[in-house]
Amino acid sequence: MSVSRISRPETLTAIGIIVVAGVFMIPAVELRPISALLPIAMLAGLIVLSLVLLISDQRKASAGEPAEAMTKSPRRVAGAFLLIVAYAVATDFIGFYVSTAIAIPLVAYVFGFRNPIGLAVATVIALGTIYLIFDFGMSQEFPAGRLGLR
């Protein structure tokens, strides 16, 4: 019972905010008083308001009110987020074009669009358009990748 009460999304969020705001308080108190005025006011506000949120959510739990699920499909959400982060890291290390040529069909395939011709055409169109508009037309620089690929 206690595990489910603590794992309610709002409770977890409130605890998270209190912890993070508490951590930020440490450098905040070392600032000059006038410089620290607004940051400390906001951090204190976050802590107090999160406490109120936590108490109100726990009251709801005591009253038997079920917590609303944050996502319909947590696996898909986690997968989507991980793929996006992986794409950013890949761009950072192996460069924009290579990672984008992999990411567009991969993300679309994993999340349900499985037509190989459609995937290939969409990737070529997307990359070609990006090249023409941003690289060629606007002379925009793209990440070359720390490993030297592009």
Residue ranges in contact with another protein by CB under 8 A: 9-10, 13, 17, 24, 27-28, 31-32, 34-35, 37-39, 42-43, 45-46, 49-50, 52-53, 56, 70-73, 76-77, 80-81, 84-85, 87-88, 91-92, 96, 100, 103-113, 115, 118-119, 122, 126, 130, 134, 138, 140-143
State the Cα–Cα distance between residues 65 and 61, nearest whole angstrom: 5
In whole angstroms, the minimum distance from the beta carbon of 122 to another protein comes to 5
Q: Which of 64/75 has CB closer to another protein?
A: 75
Closer residue to another protein, CB minimum distance, 3 or 91: 91
Give the shortest CB-64-to-another protein separation in angstroms: 20
Contact 15, 58 (CB under 8 A): no
Name the residue nearer to another protein (CB basis): 4 or 131: 131
- Residues whose CB is less than 8 angstroms from the CB of residue 106 and which lie 6 or more positions away in sequence, other chains included: 83
Alpha helices in the chain (DSSP H): 2-6, 9-29, 33-62, 74-94, 96-110, 116-130
Q: How far is the CB of 6 from another protein (least distance, A)?
A: 16
Residue type, 138: M
- 140: tokens are 């925009």
Minimum distance from residue 57 beta carbon to another protein (Å)? 10
- To another protein, the closest distance from the beta carbon of 49 in angstroms equals 5
Residue placing its CB nearer to another protein in the complex, 61 or 105: 105
What's the start-to-end Cα distance of the chain, in Å? 53
- Cα 14 from Cα 70, distance rounded (Å): 15
